Amino acid sequence: MRYWLMKTEPDVFSFDDLLRAPKKTTSWEGVRNYQARNFMRDDFKVGDLVFIYHSNAGDETGIAGIAEVVKGAYGDQAAMNPKSPYFDEKSAKAGASRWVVVDVRAVRKFKTPVTLSQIKSTPGLERMAVVQKGQRLSVQPVTPQEWGIIEKAAD
DNA sequence: GCCAACGTTGGC
DNA sequence: GCCAACGTTGGC
Protein backbone atom coordinates (compact mmCIF):
# COMPACT_ATOMS: atom_id res chain seq x y z
CA MET A 1 0.00 0.00 0.00
CA ARG A 2 1.01 3.60 -0.50
CA TYR A 3 0.73 6.90 1.32
CA TRP A 4 -0.60 10.17 -0.09
CA LEU A 5 -1.45 13.74 0.75
CA MET A 6 -4.48 15.56 -0.63
CA LYS A 7 -5.17 19.25 -0.25
CA THR A 8 -8.49 20.87 0.42
CA GLU A 9 -9.60 24.32 1.44
CA PRO A 10 -11.53 23.81 4.69
CA ASP A 11 -13.94 26.59 3.72
CA VAL A 12 -14.95 24.36 0.82
CA PHE A 13 -14.58 20.89 2.34
CA SER A 14 -12.90 20.24 5.69
CA PHE A 15 -11.93 17.13 7.62
CA ASP A 16 -14.93 17.80 9.86
CA ASP A 17 -17.13 17.78 6.78
CA LEU A 18 -15.71 14.37 5.97
CA LEU A 19 -16.48 13.14 9.49
CA ARG A 20 -20.06 14.38 9.09
CA ALA A 21 -20.54 12.77 5.68
CA PRO A 22 -22.56 9.55 5.39
CA LYS A 23 -20.28 6.65 6.38
CA LYS A 24 -17.60 9.33 6.85
CA THR A 25 -17.00 8.84 3.15
CA THR A 26 -16.93 11.18 0.18
CA SER A 27 -15.93 11.16 -3.45
CA TRP A 28 -12.99 13.52 -3.82
CA GLU A 29 -14.37 15.83 -6.49
CA GLY A 30 -12.77 18.67 -8.31
CA VAL A 31 -9.18 17.63 -8.96
CA ARG A 32 -8.41 19.49 -12.18
CA ASN A 33 -4.73 18.88 -12.71
CA TYR A 34 -3.36 16.10 -14.88
CA GLN A 35 -0.51 15.04 -12.65
CA ALA A 36 -2.82 14.85 -9.65
CA ARG A 37 -5.42 12.99 -11.68
CA ASN A 38 -2.88 10.50 -12.90
CA PHE A 39 -1.83 9.66 -9.36
CA MET A 40 -5.45 8.95 -8.48
CA ARG A 41 -6.19 7.08 -11.69
CA ASP A 42 -3.03 5.00 -11.93
CA ASP A 43 -1.67 4.64 -8.42
CA PHE A 44 -4.44 4.97 -5.83
CA LYS A 45 -5.47 1.58 -4.47
CA VAL A 46 -8.13 0.62 -1.96
CA GLY A 47 -6.48 0.61 1.45
CA ASP A 48 -3.99 3.38 0.68
CA LEU A 49 -3.84 6.02 3.40
CA VAL A 50 -4.13 9.76 2.81
CA PHE A 51 -3.21 12.81 4.84
CA ILE A 52 -5.93 15.44 4.49
CA TYR A 53 -4.22 18.83 4.25
CA HIS A 54 -6.03 22.09 4.88
CA SER A 55 -4.72 24.90 2.70
CA ASN A 56 -5.57 28.59 3.04
CA ALA A 57 -6.52 27.99 6.67
CA GLY A 58 -4.48 30.56 8.58
CA ASP A 59 -2.94 29.11 11.75
CA GLU A 60 -4.71 25.83 11.02
CA THR A 61 -2.97 25.35 7.70
CA GLY A 62 -1.58 21.85 7.79
CA ILE A 63 -2.50 18.19 8.02
CA ALA A 64 -5.83 17.70 9.77
CA GLY A 65 -6.11 13.94 9.82
CA ILE A 66 -6.02 10.64 8.01
CA ALA A 67 -8.39 9.09 5.48
CA GLU A 68 -8.43 5.78 3.69
CA VAL A 69 -9.07 5.05 0.04
CA VAL A 70 -12.22 2.91 -0.13
CA LYS A 71 -12.86 3.02 -3.87
CA GLY A 72 -10.45 3.44 -6.78
CA ALA A 73 -10.70 6.00 -9.54
CA TYR A 74 -13.85 6.53 -11.59
CA GLY A 75 -15.18 9.39 -13.69
CA ASP A 76 -15.79 12.72 -11.97
CA GLN A 77 -19.41 13.44 -12.88
CA ALA A 78 -19.16 16.98 -11.50
CA ALA A 79 -17.21 17.77 -14.65
CA MET A 80 -20.34 16.99 -16.67
CA ASN A 81 -22.72 19.12 -14.62
CA PRO A 82 -23.02 22.73 -15.81
CA LYS A 83 -24.30 23.73 -12.38
CA SER A 84 -21.27 22.36 -10.55
CA PRO A 85 -18.35 24.62 -9.68
CA TYR A 86 -16.21 21.80 -11.07
CA PHE A 87 -17.93 21.80 -14.45
CA ASP A 88 -15.54 21.19 -17.34
CA GLU A 89 -16.75 22.20 -20.76
CA LYS A 90 -14.33 19.95 -22.60
CA SER A 91 -15.53 16.90 -20.70
CA ALA A 92 -19.15 17.82 -21.35
CA LYS A 93 -18.58 18.32 -25.06
CA ALA A 94 -16.72 15.04 -25.32
CA GLY A 95 -19.56 13.28 -23.52
CA ALA A 96 -17.15 11.73 -21.03
CA SER A 97 -15.38 13.14 -18.03
CA ARG A 98 -11.64 13.49 -18.43
CA TRP A 99 -11.32 13.79 -14.64
CA VAL A 100 -11.59 11.15 -11.96
CA VAL A 101 -12.54 10.88 -8.31
CA VAL A 102 -11.66 8.35 -5.65
CA ASP A 103 -13.74 7.64 -2.55
CA VAL A 104 -12.10 8.28 0.81
CA ARG A 105 -13.30 7.57 4.35
CA ALA A 106 -12.14 9.37 7.48
CA VAL A 107 -9.87 7.23 9.66
CA ARG A 108 -8.94 9.68 12.40
CA LYS A 109 -8.71 13.38 13.01
CA PHE A 110 -5.56 14.66 14.66
CA LYS A 111 -6.09 16.32 18.07
CA THR A 112 -4.32 19.33 16.64
CA PRO A 113 -3.25 19.74 13.04
CA VAL A 114 0.35 19.14 12.08
CA THR A 115 0.90 22.64 10.79
CA LEU A 116 2.79 23.75 7.74
CA SER A 117 5.32 25.59 9.90
CA GLN A 118 5.79 22.41 11.95
CA ILE A 119 6.37 20.41 8.78
CA LYS A 120 8.87 22.98 7.59
CA SER A 121 10.86 22.81 10.81
CA THR A 122 10.81 19.03 11.30
CA PRO A 123 13.91 17.12 10.20
CA GLY A 124 13.11 14.48 7.61
CA LEU A 125 10.22 16.39 6.06
CA GLU A 126 12.25 18.87 4.01
CA ARG A 127 11.56 17.04 0.78
CA MET A 128 7.79 16.88 1.09
CA ALA A 129 6.16 18.53 -1.91
CA VAL A 130 3.88 20.55 0.34
CA VAL A 131 6.79 22.60 1.69
CA GLN A 132 8.35 23.32 -1.71
CA LYS A 133 7.86 26.91 -2.78
CA GLY A 134 5.40 27.23 -5.62
CA GLN A 135 4.38 23.58 -5.42
CA ARG A 136 0.67 23.48 -6.05
CA LEU A 137 0.08 19.82 -6.71
CA SER A 138 -3.11 18.90 -4.86
CA VAL A 139 -2.44 15.15 -4.77
CA GLN A 140 1.05 14.07 -3.82
CA PRO A 141 2.86 10.92 -2.73
CA VAL A 142 4.22 10.66 0.80
CA THR A 143 7.06 8.32 1.73
CA PRO A 144 6.59 5.80 4.56
CA GLN A 145 9.32 7.65 6.49
CA GLU A 146 7.53 10.98 6.16
CA TRP A 147 4.27 9.33 7.11
CA GLY A 148 5.79 7.95 10.30
CA ILE A 149 7.33 11.26 11.32
CA ILE A 150 4.06 13.11 10.87
CA GLU A 151 1.97 10.53 12.71
CA LYS A 152 4.43 10.77 15.59
CA ALA A 153 4.23 14.58 15.53
CA ALA A 154 0.43 14.37 15.69
CA ASP A 155 0.43 12.34 18.92
C1' DG B 1 -5.85 41.33 -0.69
C1' DC B 2 -1.37 40.70 -2.86
C1' DC B 3 1.32 38.39 -5.87
C1' DA B 4 4.83 34.69 -7.21
C1' DA B 5 4.74 30.44 -9.22
C1' DC B 6 2.80 27.47 -12.09
C1' DG B 7 -0.45 25.06 -15.50
C1' DT B 8 -3.41 25.58 -19.48
C1' DT B 9 -5.11 27.59 -23.62
C1' DG B 10 -5.09 29.00 -28.18
C1' DG B 11 -3.26 31.94 -31.98
C1' DC B 12 0.23 31.70 -35.08
C1' DG C 1 5.46 23.28 -31.56
C1' DC C 2 6.24 27.86 -29.54
C1' DC C 3 5.04 31.00 -26.27
C1' DA C 4 2.24 35.09 -24.62
C1' DA C 5 -1.77 35.67 -22.22
C1' DC C 6 -4.58 34.19 -18.92
C1' DG C 7 -6.46 31.79 -14.84
C1' DT C 8 -5.55 29.43 -10.52
C1' DT C 9 -3.25 28.17 -6.28
C1' DG C 10 -2.06 29.09 -1.87
C1' DG C 11 1.24 31.24 1.50
C1' DC C 12 1.74 35.41 3.58
Is A110 in a helix, a strand, or coil?
Answer: strand
A121-139 pLDDT, tens per residue? 999 999 999 999 888 999 9
Of A95, A10, A96, nearest in space to A52 by CA: A10
Segments making up each domain of chain A, as ranges: 3-154
Residues with CB under 7 A from strand B: A 33-35, 90, 133-137
| Architecture (CATH level 2) of domain A3-154 | Roll (3.10)
- Which tens digits make up the pLDDT trace of A62-89? 999 999 999 999 999 999 988 888 998 8
Name the average pLDDT for chain A. 94
User: Read out DSSP for A6-32?
Assistant: EEE-TTTS-HHHHHHSGGGEEE-----
pLDDT in tens, A36-69: 999 999 999 999 999 999 999 999 999 999 999 9
Distance in angstroms: CA A97, C1' B11: 26
User: What gap in Å lies between CA A31 and CA A34, rounded to an integer?
Assistant: 8
The answer to whether some atom of strand C lies closer than 7 Å to the beta carbon of A8 is no
Residue A120, pLDDT score? 95
**Overall average pLDDT of the A114-121 stretch:** 95
Q: Any atom of strand C under 7 A from CB of A136?
A: yes
Query: In Å, what is the separation between the CA of A6 and the C1' of B5?
Result: 19
At residue A90, the pLDDT reads 86
